[in-house]
Structure 1
Amino acid sequence: MPIDKTPSQQVARKIGIGVVAIIAFIILAMFIGFNLYHADAQRDLNSGQFAPRDAPKSPTDLQAPRPPQK
């Protein structure tokens, strides 16, 4: 029986492939999720509407900053 093909090495190889596949799936799911969120946020920006968290909190929030005094 060759040393490089023992059952424990075959099991370890299958487990390693499984771990790599799970990590790749997690990365892919995060990438797709971030893209969907960005597309939704971009759609909101393009529609002219804004999220309530971006609404002005005080009457001076929408005013331009005053120029510096000389």
Structure 2
Amino acid sequence: MIEFTVNDMSCNHCVGAITKAVQAAFPQARLEFDLAQHKVRVEDVPGAEEVKKVIEEAGYTPQLEAA
């Protein structure tokens, strides 16, 4: 599982936008969110850098968490 901190993710609209963007790029992706902690966890994707780029293109600033 890949985990990002996305400090500019603050509401359910943000969750929806990130979900839509990631699943458009990687339809098999599974996402979990902890909105209070600004965390996004992603599974079943090719790699962290690919997902980070998609989240950035959706307008957010993800920071990859150390494994």
For Structure 1 versus Structure 2, the TM-score category normalised by the shorter chain is under 0.3
Q: Which has the higher strand share?
A: 2
Q: Which has the higher helix share?
A: 1
- Larger RCO: Structure 1 or Structure 2 (Cα < 8 Å, ≥ 6 residues apart)? 2
The alignment's TM-score, normalised by the length of structure 1, stands at 0.26
Q: Bigger radius of gyration, 1 or 2? A: 1
